[in-house]
Amino acid sequence: MTTSSTPAYPSRCRRCDSRVTLMFTRSNNRIGNAGRPYYKCLTCTKFLCFADSRGLDPSNPLCSCGIPSRRQISGPARCVPRGLHYVCSQGGCSFYSPMHGDYGQISLDEEIASLFIQLSFI
């Protein structure tokens, strides 16, 4: 697994052009993001992107901004098993692409998802 260094992050919201704020997920977050830093626009309440290197890999597909995307997993409330996908790593565009294998979107059960989260793969 290869990870790239933490990229430069947005200072303005792509939706309303307001300044964005660095925030942290709650420490009791149960989907693998406890204490994780992220950027959010407080004006329009838009989540932009996570502010760490988790899921970053220079071989990930390029997003519409022309930069490598971030590999992520859907939350358990939305989909069980949890599907892997790519999103814009800097919150600069609305890029979203499911991660496909031979039989459709790649999904993980909770045990494997927890391991991949600990390894910063997703």
- Structural domain including 36 reads 21-118
Task: State how beta strands 82-87 and 104-105 pair.
Answer: unpaired
User: Does residue 44 lie in a domain region?
Assistant: yes
User: Does residue 99 lie in a domain region?
Assistant: yes
- pTM, two decimals, is 0.80
User: Does residue 12 lie in a domain region?
Assistant: no
For the chain, how many structural domains are there in total?
A: 1
User: Does residue 11 lie in a domain region?
Assistant: no
| pLDDT by 10s per residue, the chain, length 122 | 444 455 567 788 988 999 999 999 999 887 788 899 999 999 999 999 999 999 999 999 999 999 999 999 887 655 567 789 999 999 989 999 999 888 888 888 778 888 888 888 88
The torsion angles phi and psi of 110, rounded to 5 degrees, stand at -60, -40
- The closest alpha carbon to 116, from 10, 21, 1, belongs to 1
User: Does residue 2 lie in a domain region?
Assistant: no
